[in-house]
């Protein structure tokens, strides 16, 4: 089914049922890997809000869930964009942390998050991302839990937006 959003045409790429099944598998794998340990899940807003809420319900471990947002703003006297994290309040030292993202594309955002969270002395940091674009990835840190590897094409739905629209779609769509 084709959907037109802000004048662009999108078609279903990963249907809801496939996403649900894959999220279940990831939850089971995380449950097994952490073997009864307590987990701190950190969802990255806005895009990961649906994936994080679905994934956390497939994990059978004592778990806390928080969300953070990366704020980017342009420095006054340079073209470099500066990044800052909003929303983190708890002490993560000695905790097993899982960062939950909607998509890892170039990997720049996740690299910033890894730098930041490593400095808080957690016992471990793992990454769970629903989508991964290997052709666009410019780093070599490991992605522990990947839902789907996808081609380097723009997608939306299931939390991901196109210019603010489409986060509420149950399927994942890609540009026609
Ligand atoms: P990265 O820093 O890995 O290049 O990009 C990560 C962020 O860019 C993602 O968290 C997401 O917000 C956005 N992004 C990258 N690719 C896509 C895409 O295909 N669709 C949408 N909606 N957002 C994307
Ligand atoms: Mg994101
Ligand atoms: Mg976006």
Spatial separation of the C-alpha atoms in residues 171 and 159, rounded to whole Å: 10
Task: Please state the ipTM of this predicted complex.
Answer: 0.96
Q: Quick check: is 43 in a domain?
A: yes
- Among candidate residues 60, 105, 115, 171, the one labeled active-site is 105
Residues of the chain with pLDDT under 70: 74-80
User: Is there a domain that residue 72 lies in?
Assistant: yes
Quick check: bond before 34 cis, omega within 30? Answer: no
pLDDT at 120: 94
The reply to whether 99 falls in a domain is yes
Residue 6 within any structural domain of the chain: no
Return the pLDDT at 158: 98
| pLDDT score of 79 | 53
The sheet carrying 39-45 orders its strands as 81-86, 63-74, 39-45, 96-104, 124-132, 145-149
**Could you tell which of 105, 106, 151, 163 is best to mutate to test the pocket of ligand 1, judged by most ligand atoms within 8 Å of the CB?**
105
Q: Could you report the per-residue pLDDT of 62-88, keeping only the tens digit for each?
A: 999 999 999 887 655 555 577 889 988
pLDDT at 59: 98
Query: 69 in a domain, yes or no?
Result: yes
| Atom of ligand 1 lying closest to residue 156 CA | 22
Q: Is residue 3 part of a domain?
A: no
Count structural domains, the chain: 1
Active site residue 163: no
Beta strand residue intervals within 36-144, DSSP E? 39-45, 63-74, 81-86, 96-104, 124-132
Please indicate, yes or no, if residue 87 is contained in any of the structural domains.
Answer: yes
- Residue 4 falls inside a structural domain: no
Q: Are 113 and 84 in contact (CB under 8 A)?
A: no
Label residues 148-176 b or e (16+ Cβ within 10 Å = b).
bebeeeebbbbbbbbeeebbebebbbbee
CA 12 from centroid of its chain's CA atoms: 20
Does the Cβ of 107 fall within 6 Å of ligand 1? yes
CATH number at residue 92: 3.40.50.2020
Residues 6+ apart with CB under 8 A from 6: 162, 163, 165
């Amino acid at each position: 089914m084709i959907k037109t959003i802000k004048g662009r045409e999108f078609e279903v790429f990963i249907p809801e049922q496939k996403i649900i099944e894959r999220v279940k598998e990831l939850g089971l794998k995380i449950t097994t890997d952490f073997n009864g340990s307590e987990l701190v899940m950190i969802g990255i807003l806005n895009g990961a809000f649906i994936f994080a809420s679905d994934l956390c319900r497939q994990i059978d471990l004592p778990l806390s869930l928080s969300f953070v947002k990366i704020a980017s703003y342009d420095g006054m006297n340079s073209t470099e964009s500066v990044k800052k994290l909003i929303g983190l309040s708890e002490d993560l030292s000695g905790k097993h942390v899982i960062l939950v993202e909607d998509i890892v594309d170039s990997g720049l955002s996740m690299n910033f998050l890894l730098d930041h969270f490593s400095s808080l002395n957690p016992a471990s940091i793992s990454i769970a991302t629903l989508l991964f674009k290997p052709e666009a990835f410019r780093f070599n840190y490991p992605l522990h839990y990947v839902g789907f590897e996808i081609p380097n094409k723009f997608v939306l739905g299931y939390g991901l937006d196109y210019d603010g629209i489409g986060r509420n779609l149950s399927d994942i769509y890609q540009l026609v």
